[in-house]
Amino acid sequence: MPPRPPLSGAADPSPDAFPRPIWGSSAAGVVMLVALLSGIRFWAAGALGLAADEAYYWIWSRNLALGYFDHPPMVAVLIRASTAVFGDSELGIRWIAVLLGALASLGVWRLVFRLTGSMRAALAGAALVQGTLFLGAGSMLVTPDTPLVLFWTLALLALVELWRTGRGAWWIAIGLAIGLAFISKYTAVFLGLGVLIWLAVVPELRRWFASPWTYAGGAVCLAVMAPTLWWNVSAGGASLTKQFGRAVPQAFDPRFVPEFVAGQAALLTPLIGLLVLWGLWVVVRDAVRNRAAGEVLLAATTLPLVAYLVWYGLFDRVQGNWTACLLPASITAAVIGALKLPAWRPARIALTISMRGSVVVGVVLGLLVMAHAAWRIVPLAADPTSQLSGWADVAAKLEKAAVEQGAVAIGVGSYTLNAQLRYYGSSVPPVVQLNERARYLMEPTPDVALLRRGPILVVAENRREAQVLAALRARFRSVERAGSVERHWRMPLIAVFGGSYVDTLFLFKVADPIGDGFPDIGPLR
């Protein structure tokens, strides 16, 4: 089968027809931009403390398994490989994530070029993706989205090659990429759904339903997924139940939808968000009109997840990073939209200005976020970057307090606190989460006899103090307050205005558990 013509219908637009972004108009400029940002991100990855989830996944990486309570195992494998090179430091945990953030430009460049045939458009896409906060702030953190974005992108590239070349052997690569995406994060089911929609909607692709190559790719995908599925069965469906249980509607609360939209605008940055919005409109419009394979592929692998998250937002909060896997396709759609600007002059001018300034604005915003995470440039009441600071000092103070209290262990009531204290502490005495033990099926069971002998120094976050105290009084006969420890920003730039204080951890000395076995204090909100 001969290769298809470019989606745009033109080899390369004239400079006047395509508003190229500043810092994204030449290959040398894009390479320099990516290299510079990657260098800064490598510094930030080593200078900033771990987020709670990163420390949690680091615990997983010390105990590799086929699955975990929250997610499939790929993030643990990634961290294990990362730390095998540079050790268990913050940079050692994150360096592969930073490298993959740089390679995202290569993936988007290839995707745009194979869909449009335009080198100018491909370079613009490679620059645009670096201008988002998804990469500007997110690529220095390692989460399940890190490998998911990688394999989602590889799947899209393989699907485009299948369409371009007509070679069925690409189904093996497609199946492998989707399978690896699934064992990175269960969100990959939407990628599989998108492929089925793509095949069904595009007339010329329906022949693949009768090809053995398609089913060979499906078999490869299932083979990759099988160990994680088997682990879920053996663990009583722990991980799948937790994640897909989110799909069950709770109380109707539509205020989360505008919050989701605002969050996406912030993570894309407003200018790139406007370009993505227009690009998705162009892609969907052309997909409906022409059923062209390129446009349908982008729409089918993007819109189902977006629609689900909007629906989910009618009942509960949607985390901004849940759309990270859509970034390559969204940026590709934005560039395609820039190739087809509207005739209405005000809209055309707005989109042109957005394209021209998007990378500069996005890069500056990303650098400001990193600088704030390090130096607290602006004192904010609710600051998500504050979780990156102060844990080494807190862990040392808590271990000292535990020794003074004669405690045999430090107990906590949340996985986030457990993760930070285990990463930054010496494990003397050991840190034990006194609830949600299903999170630690991959580890040996804590020494129950030691915990029952007591006493235990229990640590509670400020926001959970009352809940933890009530739970402790219901589970231990002896409960007494044992002071508090403050957590502070490591190096605030404007301490004179905002100070270095972050929050307070409250301490309780408990002993003599009620009932037999592990002293589980039960779930906390």
How many other CB atoms sit within 10 Å of the CB of residue 270? Answer: 14
58-to-18, 151, 446, 459, 476 alpha-carbon distances in Å = 45, 21, 18, 21, 31
Separation of alpha carbons 432 and 430, rounded Å: 6
pLDDT over 50 at 342, yes or no: yes
pLDDT over 80 at 248, yes or no: no
What is residue 439's predicted lDDT score, i.e. its pLDDT?
Answer: 94
Statement to judge: residues 284 and 422 lie in one domain: no
Average pLDDT rounded to a whole number, residues 344-369: 95
| pLDDT tens, position by position, 83-142 | 999 999 999 999 999 999 999 999 999 999 999 999 999 999 999 999 999 998 888 999
pTM of the shown model: 0.94
Statement to judge: residues 449 and 351 lie in one domain: no
pLDDT over 50 at 2, yes or no: no
pLDDT over 70 at 374, yes or no: yes
Mean pLDDT over all residues of the chain? Answer: 92
| pLDDT tens, position by position, 421-443 | 999 999 999 999 999 999 999 99
Statement to judge: residues 290 and 152 lie in one domain: yes
pLDDT over 90 at 246, yes or no: no
Q: Give the pair of three-digit tokens for residue 34.
A: 């990516």
What is residue 6's predicted lDDT score, i.e. its pLDDT?
Answer: 47
Statement to judge: residues 361 and 472 lie in one domain: no
Q: Which has more confidence, 282 or 13? A: 282
| pLDDT tens, position by position, 502-511 | 899 999 999 9
Statement to judge: residues 445 and 370 lie in one domain: no
216 within a domain of the structure (yes/no): yes
The answer for 471, left when phi > 0, alpha when psi is -120 to 50, beta otherwise, is: alpha
Statement to judge: residues 132 and 164 lie in one domain: yes
Instruction: Report the number of distinct structural domains present in the chain.
Output: 2
Q: Which of 11-20, 41-50, 481-490 has the lowest mean pLDDT?
A: 11-20
Domain boundary among 375, 406, 437: 375
Cβ proximity of 223 and 229 under 8 Å: no
383 within a domain of the structure (yes/no): no
Statement to judge: residues 102 and 146 lie in one domain: yes
Domain boundary among 331, 347, 375: 375
456-to-190, 399, 414, 486, 520 alpha-carbon distances in Å = 45, 12, 16, 20, 13
| pLDDT tens, position by position, 149-207 | 999 999 999 999 999 999 999 999 999 999 999 999 999 999 999 999 999 999 999 99
What is residue 142's predicted lDDT score, i.e. its pLDDT?
Answer: 97
3-state secondary structure 36-104: HHHHHHHHHHHHCCCCHHHHHHHHHHHCCCCCCCCCCCHHHHHHHHHHHHHCCCHHHHHHHHHHHHHHH
Percent residues over pLDDT 90 in the chain: 83
Domain boundary among 332, 347, 375: 375
Q: By residue range, what is the domain housing residue 127?
A: 27-375
| pLDDT tens, position by position, 71-94 | 999 999 999 999 999 999 999 999
pLDDT over 90 at 249, yes or no: no
240 within a domain of the structure (yes/no): yes
523 within a domain of the structure (yes/no): no
| pLDDT tens, position by position, 209-239 | 999 999 999 999 999 999 999 999 998 877 8
473 within a domain of the structure (yes/no): yes
Statement to judge: residues 155 and 248 lie in one domain: yes
Statement to judge: residues 353 and 413 lie in one domain: no
Percent residues over pLDDT 70 in the chain: 94
Give the confidence band of 494 by pLDDT, cuts at 50, 70, 90.
low
Statement to judge: residues 64 and 131 lie in one domain: yes
16 within a domain of the structure (yes/no): no
Give the confidence band of 497 by pLDDT, cuts at 50, 70, 90.
low
Statement to judge: residues 118 and 230 lie in one domain: yes
pLDDT over 70 at 495, yes or no: no
Q: Alpha-carbon dihedral of residues 69, 75, 76, 81, nearest 10 degrees?
A: 170
pLDDT over 70 at 15, yes or no: no
Give the confidence band of 24 by pLDDT, cuts at 50, 70, 90.
confident
Give the confidence band of 3 by pLDDT, cuts at 50, 70, 90.
very low
113 within a domain of the structure (yes/no): yes
Separation of alpha carbons 435 and 446, rounded Å: 12
11 within a domain of the structure (yes/no): no
How many other CB atoms sit within 10 Å of the CB of residue 344? Answer: 9
Statement to judge: residues 410 and 502 lie in one domain: yes
Give the confidence band of 17 by pLDDT, cuts at 50, 70, 90.
low
